[in-house]
Amino acid sequence: MRVVSLVPSLTEAVAVSVPGALVGATEWCSHPEDLDVVRVGGTKNPDVRGIIGLAPDLVIANEEENRAPDLAALRAAGLQVLVTEVRDLPGAFRELTRVLAACGAGRPKWLEEAESAWGQLPPPEARLRAVIPIWRRPWMVLGRDTFAGDLLRRLGVDNAYATHAERYPRVTLDELRAVGPDVVILPDEPYRFTREDGPEEFTAPAALVSGRHLTWYGPSLAEAPAVLGRALRAACG
């Protein structure tokens, strides 16, 4: 198989599970850290002509991360494009299984470990109400029907914007403060929140979390419950 991945988390999943299959990936595909393949632009602006030139057997994409016109152009060139849709944890496991099967892989150990890690979560001792900014200038937060929101829900965190009409609503800082959350969850991607950039805007405790463990569906899922859990405990005690 010759595979091009336009989704960072799926790039990692394929690279780990089917070594040698990947021939192209986006500039945002940062894992595995030693990944040595042709870079084909970004998720939103891929080098369509370059991808076609790689003559892949399969292009892996996602309905949220990649643009429909780019995928249509790849199909028009005769390439097979597999488009994933992930809105929750069960959907992630389902789509990972589908992608890896399409790449000729069996069921990897890390996927079984991830399912076990999430399946054996103890009930949370108490639930926390949170806002989860993902961007600043303008402020944007997780809204309804998101994979990251589902992970947090399973860890005892209720998203204050989970019933919003939009999946990634823009809000003002005053609106965020008015929510009065128990905790503000600040990932380091897509916007890189840090101890000096983000927490100072809120009176509520801030949990700085790994964006890869919060938003990626791939090998990182196996350790995500422990990683995210530690970040929440560090912030809230």
- 82 forms beta bridges with 60
Query: Which pair of tokens denotes residue 219?
Result: 């090998």
**pLDDT (average), residues 76-98:** 97
Q: What is the per-residue burial (b if ≥16 Cβ within 10 Å, else e) of 129-148?
A: ebbbbbeeeebbbbbbebbb
Task: Please tell me which residue, 215 or 125, carries the higher pLDDT value.
Answer: 215
- Contact, 216 vs 222, CB < 8 A? no
How sure is the predictor about 84, in pLDDT bands with cuts at 50, 70 and 90? Answer: very high
Q: Does residue 90 have a cis bond before it (omega within 30 degrees)?
A: no
How far is residue 189's CA from residue 176's CA, in Å, rounded to a whole number? Answer: 19
**pLDDT (average), residues 158-180:** 96
How sure is the predictor about 79, in pLDDT bands with cuts at 50, 70 and 90? Answer: very high
How sure is the predictor about 106, in pLDDT bands with cuts at 50, 70 and 90? Answer: confident
Judged against a pLDDT cut of 80, whether residue 237 lies above it is answered with no
Judged against a pLDDT cut of 90, whether residue 231 lies above it is answered with yes
The DSSP result for 218-230, as a single string, is SGGGGTHHHHHHH
**pLDDT (average), residues 137-149:** 96
All domains of the chain in start order, with CATH = 3-107 (3.40.50.1980), 123-236 (3.40.50.1980)
CB atoms within 10 A of CB 101: 11
